Structure formats: structure tokens, C-alpha cells
Structure 1
């Protein structure tokens, strides 16, 4: 992955810290995607919710992306694990793709490790971002 500045709202940051802490207590923090999420939280730029650009992927954002390997488009929402449902297009922040897209912007290419190599997508559009819609506490 190319280095980038990850912007996370203060509200999302607090909730993600609590999530990782609870998963750590439950013995679930050894997965590589959780380590990636932890690393991003350590190096992210925390901003007030009303200052995050509307094209940045935040928690509860809905995006449209293009799989650069298959050329298929898909729309997904980035959610907490308890709300995840892949069949309904809700991906968990703790999934490899969920951890990877957090903080990226429309137009960015995102690459992460998968079991047999790497996966790359391009975020085509942020269809909905809670902060841009004034929904600061979703």
C-alpha cells in the first residue's frame, strides 16, 4: 500500500479504540487486519466530524468501488461487526477490506493482502458519508 494520511473523526476514533480493546480482551486481536487497523489508529490524523472532507470513507459511509482485477463494481457500507451482513453490502470495519478502506477518498486505489497475494480496488464514489449529511453520531 502506498503511504497516506488517514483521516478519522474523533468520534470514530474513540469507538474504534473501544472496539479493538474489547476484541483484544476476547482474544481476537491476532488477525492481521486488526493489526492493520490498530496501526492506522496509531498514525491517523484525528479531526472533528464537521471538518472531515465529504469524499473520505468514515464509519457508516456507503461507497461504490471498482475491483481492478475483475472490473466489477460494487456498493458497500462500512459498519461495526455487529451490523455486518455481506449479502446486504454491509462490511465490517474489522474485515480486511473494511480496515483497508477506512480513511481513503474517492478516486484512491486501495491494496491489501489476501491469502494468495493482493487485492486492489478503486473507490469510485462516496455515496453517503454520515458527517457530510450532518449525521455525526451514527
Structure 2
């Protein structure tokens, strides 16, 4: 079975630094998610001194995506701000780690906690944080 080529991702340098620190801080308690996030961060192109373009998912972005033939809209947040019922998804979830740094039109396969693989496609970055 051929391995899927991962899409390129883009992050600002401040956000990249903060996310690496977060992943390292939770490594002992939640190594699987920390490893997933660190893997994504290691392959990111880091933009120094400015924010990525508005079509790129970053922390605080509200994004619409399609997964398993269903469309959803969520906001990507840090763990303390997560609230699934309100549509705020933590970066420390498998889907949160999959979303970060993608841009509209890109797709990625991600593995849920139950071991099943899903494909998501970014439809639109609806709103960016201030």
C-alpha cells in the first residue's frame, strides 16, 4: 500500500513555537497526540515575522471542512478553550492536529482515536482570529 503524500502546511513562527512547547508539555500525559502534533509541526514551513495568508488554518481560525461525506464548521483552539458542543476543537485532538496549517482545498488523512482513518478536505477558512 502506498503512503499518501502529506500536504504542505504553513505556520507563523510565534504560533509554531507555542505549539511545540504545548506538545512537549503534554508528551508524558498524552504521548500519541503530542507525537502527532509534533510530526505536523516538524514538516511545517514557518513564516517568520508575519501571519500566514488568510486561507491558512491557524489557532483561532474558524474553518469548514468535509470528512466522511459530512460538512462541519469548527474553530481550532488551545485545550483550555475547547468545547465540542460549541464547535471549538482542541489542537490536542487528532483532527485538531490534522487541521493546523492547511489551506482551503487541501486534503489530509487522519487517524481517529478508535484507529479508523478518515480523510478531510478544507472547504474554506471562514474567519481568522484578530
TM-score under structure 2 length normalisation:
0.86
Aligned counterpart, 1:28? 29
Check whether the contact 1:6–1:44 (CA below 8 A) recurs between aligned residues. Answer: yes
Per-residue deviation, 1:43: 2.4
Aligned counterpart, 2:120? 121
Aligned counterpart, 1:46? 46
- For 2:118 and 2:48, how far apart are their aligned partners in 1? 31
Listed as ranges, the gaps of 5+ residues in structure 2 are none
- For 1:37 and 1:49, how far apart are their aligned partners in 2? 22
- For 2:66 and 2:36, how far apart are their aligned partners in 1? 22
SS at match of 1:50: coil
Provide the aligned length of Structure 1 versus Structure 2.
Answer: 126
Aligned counterpart, 1:101? 99
Alignment of 1:1-138 (within 5 A): 1-24=4-27, 27-31=28-32, 33-48=33-48, 50-67=50-67, 69=68, 71-114=69-112, 115-130=114-129, 135=130
TM-score under structure 1 length normalisation:
0.82
Per-residue deviation, 1:3: 2.1
- For 1:29 and 1:107, how far apart are their aligned partners in 2? 30
SS at match of 2:24: helix
- For 1:39 and 1:72, how far apart are their aligned partners in 2? 26
- For 1:42 and 1:110, how far apart are their aligned partners in 2? 16
- Alpha-carbon distance change, 3 to 72 in structure 1, aligned in 2, over 3 angstroms: closer
Q: CA RMSD in A?
A: 1.7
Listed as ranges, the gaps of 5+ residues in structure 1 are none
